[in-house]
Amino acid sequence: MTIAIYPATFDPITNGHIDIAERAAAIFDRLIVAVYARPLKRLLFSAEERLAMTRQALKHIPNVSVESYDCLTVDFARQKGAQVVVRGLRVLSDFEWEFQLALTNRKLAPDIDTVCLMASQEYSFLSSSVVKEVAMAGGCVDNMVSTHVVSALKRKFEGLGEKGSDKVQIISLRD
Ligand code: ADP
């Protein structure tokens, strides 16, 4: 039985992440989607909120479970008996980072391999950062995330008021 983990921050989970999880679940016997609790980047949602949103978004896939973790990814994979780390590759710029990450994980754990799935064309533009920036500015994200995530984003930005922009890494949408 091949067990894979799909680790990410999921701040929040997007349709691009869901697509990767569905496709990975069709390849491996079991997929554990691993929500990283303590990334070094600024987050909009708490670890509990990200876990709950990710669980709800993936509940239709029978061989997928969702857990949070706060240790090294390869240590978490070992704890779970996983042999594979799944990642998604969007544009060329993802490659360098994913390559570095895969080689580092390989050094730490030669028995665990990384499998990258190419992003589907319709999601290749999509990232959690884009979703947060569009939602913060009041734009429609209905085609980018699940309905419960649309609602969570609305609630979050209403609750944060003026401070909302402090929580979002602004990217280049207005350039
Ligand atoms: P992290 O900060 O952990 O890289 P992300 O949640 O942004 O967090 O990304 C996790 C993984 O999911 C990465 O491998 C990334 O390339 C992939 N991913 C993110 N968005 C998409 C998408 N739209 N299509 C395919 N893969 C994606």
Are both 91 and 150 inside the same structural domain? no
CB atoms within 10 A of CB 121: 7
User: Among the three residues 86, 106, 121, which one is the final residue of a domain in this structure?
Assistant: 121
Torsion, CA 59, CA 65, CA 67, CA 73, rounded to 10: -130
90 is an active site residue: yes
Same domain, 132 and 113: no
Residue 174, in any domain of the structure: no
Q: What is the pLDDT of residues 140-175, one digit of tens each?
A: 999 999 999 999 999 999 877 666 666 666 554 443
Residue 109 burial (CB count, 10 A): 17
Q: Of the candidates 118, 112, 116, 160, which has an alpha carbon nearest to the alpha carbon of residue 136?
A: 160
Q: Structure tokens of 135?
A: 């939602």
User: Which one of 106, 121, 136 terminates a domain?
Assistant: 121
Determine the structural domain holding residue 135 and report its residue range: 128-166
140 lies in the same domain as 99: no
- Are 103 and 159 contained in the same domain? no
Check which CATH number belongs to the domain holding 61 and give it: 3.40.50.620
Judge if 59 and 84 occupy the same domain: yes
pLDDT 10s digits, 14-50: 999 999 999 999 999 999 999 999 877 789 999 999 9
Domain for residue 173, yes or no?
no
Residue pLDDT, tens place only, 89-103? 998 788 999 999 999
Q: Tell whether 113 is covered by a domain.
A: yes
Mutate to test the pocket of ligand 1, among 31, 90, 118, 121 (most ligand atoms within 8 A of CB): 90
Based on the fold, state whether residues 113 and 138 are members of the same structural domain. Answer: no
User: Is 128 a known active-site residue?
Assistant: yes
User: Could you give the CA distance from residue 14 to residue 20 in angstroms, rounded to a whole number?
Assistant: 10
Annotated catalytic residue 17: yes
Domain count, the chain: 2
pLDDT tens, position by position, 40-91 = 778 999 999 999 999 999 999 999 999 999 999 999 999 999 999 999 999 8
* Phi, psi (deg, nearest 5) at residue 69: -150, 155
CA of 99 from ligand 1 middle (Å) equals: 13
Ligand 1, atom 10, lies closest to the CA of: 8
The reply to whether 175 falls in a domain is no
Ligand 1 pocket, CB under 6 A: 8-10, 14, 16-17, 20, 39, 87-90, 94, 98, 119, 123, 126-128
Q: Is residue 46 a part of any domain in this protein?
A: yes
Are residues 32 and 116 located together in one domain of the fold? yes
- Tell me which of 90, 106, 148, 167 is the catalytic residue: 90
Q: Are 85 and 51 in contact, with CB atoms under 8 Å apart?
A: no
pTM as predicted: 0.91
